[in-house]
């Protein structure tokens, strides 16, 4: 294409630097917001007012911010649960099932030690709380490991397996909390029992301590992939399983490893939301919605291209928007689903802009005709 005395060309990028990726993503977000303004205009709302409501509720209000942070922790953990298998070239679609497995395991521990409602604890909380976390980790890792084992041993499609486990676990939860299930709450309204207040996870300035786990994992995963032997093995397998085998990397071990690790982190997300977020502390009726929310982990993982540190701002943004979008929708009396529409536009733009990860636009001064 020609523009005056310049020619515009697409050029393949040889390497993508960190700041370039950041700039491209930021530009994509701004672009999405501009595009979405038309929806606001269509609905008769000034876009600036609309965005102000969304962002000020999500990130500045004393009521909205904690909700955003809780969602952020949840999303970030789900993102990590997706990223680890992704780096091995495998797709974890089973964050929902894994987080339910972690949630059930944690509540099983609480149940076993008398943590159900007002019963007396048979052991000190200082022992039961860590045990709940360990149970969540082990339960969800085991759930993830099934897909990994089947992949490594029989080359079963991991997407199908994790998907199926989602359904199975979803119904196991229903069996446990409804119609006389072991974990049924006292109200009998289709939700789980409330945790004894001794078992409420510790808060730091009103924020669940799990935020440190999530952020700490970010650093840990960055280190895993950048420096460690295991991270290297995962990356080689992810790029080329046959070359991995040549280099002495066990093609059956890596899938089990990444799905156990991914599942483990999804289990922490389950523990976080149902046992550490203030005001919840039970398996809620709408647990299915959180299973659905877990799928945003896939989006955040893809946008951050498997980079655990880049996932942090992206999960924060999505956490804030799911939260602020819903709020603004109610306050400005916008149509149903407008919050999801915003997220949709954002996702498509972010993914579309990844084109610029591979290509750049260059202006070439055209030579004068001879």
Q: Which residues contribute to the site for other proteins (CB under 8 A)?
A: 14-15, 227-230, 232-233, 235-236, 239-240, 242-243, 245-250
Q: Of the two residues 244 and 277, which places its CB atom closer to other proteins in the complex?
A: 244
- Angle CA(196)–CA(201)–CA(205) in degrees, nearest 5? 125
Q: How far is the CB of 246 from other proteins (least distance, A)?
A: 5
Q: Of the two residues 109 and 258, which places its CB atom closer to other proteins in the complex?
A: 258
Q: Of the two residues 35 and 364, which places its CB atom closer to other proteins in the complex?
A: 364
DSSP string covering 296-354, please? HHHHHHHHTTT-TTTHHHHHHHHHHHHHHHHHHHHHTTPPTTHHHHHHHHHHHHHHHHT
What crossing angle do the helices spanning 253-271 and 210-227 adopt, rounded to 10°? 160
Q: How far is the CB of 233 from other proteins (least distance, A)?
A: 7
Residue 143, Cα to own-chain centre: how many angstroms?
17
Q: How far is the CB of 12 from other proteins (least distance, A)?
A: 10
Cβ contacts of 163 within 8 Å, gap of 6 or more = 93, 94
Q: How far is the CB of 249 from other proteins (least distance, A)?
A: 7
Q: Of the two residues 13 and 175, which places its CB atom closer to other proteins in the complex?
A: 13
Using DSSP, state whether 194 is helix, strand or coil.
Answer: coil
Q: Of the two residues 43 and 249, which places its CB atom closer to other proteins in the complex?
A: 249
Q: How far is the CB of 19 from other proteins (least distance, A)?
A: 17
Handedness of CA 144, 146, 149, 152 (dihedral sign): negative
Q: Quick one: 63 exposed, middle or buried, by C-beta within 10 A (0-12, 13-18, 19+)?
A: exposed
Using DSSP, state whether 142 is helix, strand or coil.
Answer: helix
- Angle CA(347)–CA(90)–CA(302) in degrees, nearest 5? 15
Q: How far is the CB of 286 from other proteins (least distance, A)?
A: 41
Q: Of the two residues 123 and 362, which places its CB atom closer to other proteins in the complex?
A: 362
Cβ contacts of 44 within 8 Å, gap of 6 or more = none
Q: How far is the CB of 93 from other proteins (least distance, A)?
A: 24
Q: Of the two residues 178 and 235, which places its CB atom closer to other proteins in the complex?
A: 235
Using DSSP, state whether 177 is helix, strand or coil.
Answer: helix
| Alpha-carbon gap, residue 131 to 134, rounded angstroms | 5
Number of residues that make up the chain? 370
Q: Of the two residues 207 and 230, which places its CB atom closer to other proteins in the complex?
A: 230
Q: How far is the CB of 254 from other proteins (least distance, A)?
A: 13
| Alpha-carbon gap, residue 332 to 314, rounded angstroms | 26
């Amino acid at each position: 294409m020609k523009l005056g005395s310049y020619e515009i060309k697409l050029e393949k990028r040889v390497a993508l630097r960190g700041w370039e990726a950041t700039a491209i993503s930021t530009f994509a977000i701004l672009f999405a917001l501009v595009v979405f303004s038309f929806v606001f205009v269509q609905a008769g709302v000034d876009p600036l007012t609309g965005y102000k409501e969304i962002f000020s509720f999500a990130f500045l209000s004393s009521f909205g911010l904690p909700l955003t942070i809780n969602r952020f922790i949840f999303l970030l953990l789900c993102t990590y649960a997706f990223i680890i298998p992704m780096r091995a070239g495998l797709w974890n679609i089973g964050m929902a099932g894994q987080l339910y497995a972690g949630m059930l395991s944690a509540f099983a521990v609480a149940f076993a030690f008398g943590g159900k409602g007002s019963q007396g604890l048979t052991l000190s909380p200082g022992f039961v709380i860590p045990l709940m976390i360990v149970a969540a980790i082990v339960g969800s890792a085991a759930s993830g490991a099934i897909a990994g084992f089947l992949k490594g041993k029989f080359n079963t499609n991991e997407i199908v397996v994790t998907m199926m486990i989602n359904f199975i676990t979803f119904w196991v939860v229903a069996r446990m909390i409804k119609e006389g299930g072991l974990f049924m709450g006292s109200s009998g309204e289709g939700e789980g029992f409330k945790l004894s207040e001794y078992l409420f996870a510790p808060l730091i300035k009103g924020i669940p301590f799990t935020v440190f786990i999530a952020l700490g994992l970010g650093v840990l995963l960055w280190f895993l992939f950048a420096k460690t032997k295991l991270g290297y093995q995962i990356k080689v397998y992810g790029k080329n399983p046959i070359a991995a085998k040549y280099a002495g990397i066990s093609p059956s071990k890596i899938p089990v490893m990444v799905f156990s690790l991914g599942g483990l982190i999804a289990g922490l997300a389950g523990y976080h939301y149902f046992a550490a977020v203030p005001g919840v502390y039970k398996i809620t009726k709408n647990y299915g919605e959180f299973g659905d929310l877990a799928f945003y982990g896939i989006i955040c993982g893809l946008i951050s291209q498997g980079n655990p540190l880049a996932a942090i701002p992206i999960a924060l943004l999505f956490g804030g928007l799911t939260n602020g979008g819903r709020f603004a929708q109610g306050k400005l009396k916008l149509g149903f689903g407008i919050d999801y529409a915003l997220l949709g536009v954002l996702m498509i733009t972010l993914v579309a802009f990844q084109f610029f990860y591979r290509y750049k636009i260059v202006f070439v001064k055209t030579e004068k005709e001879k």
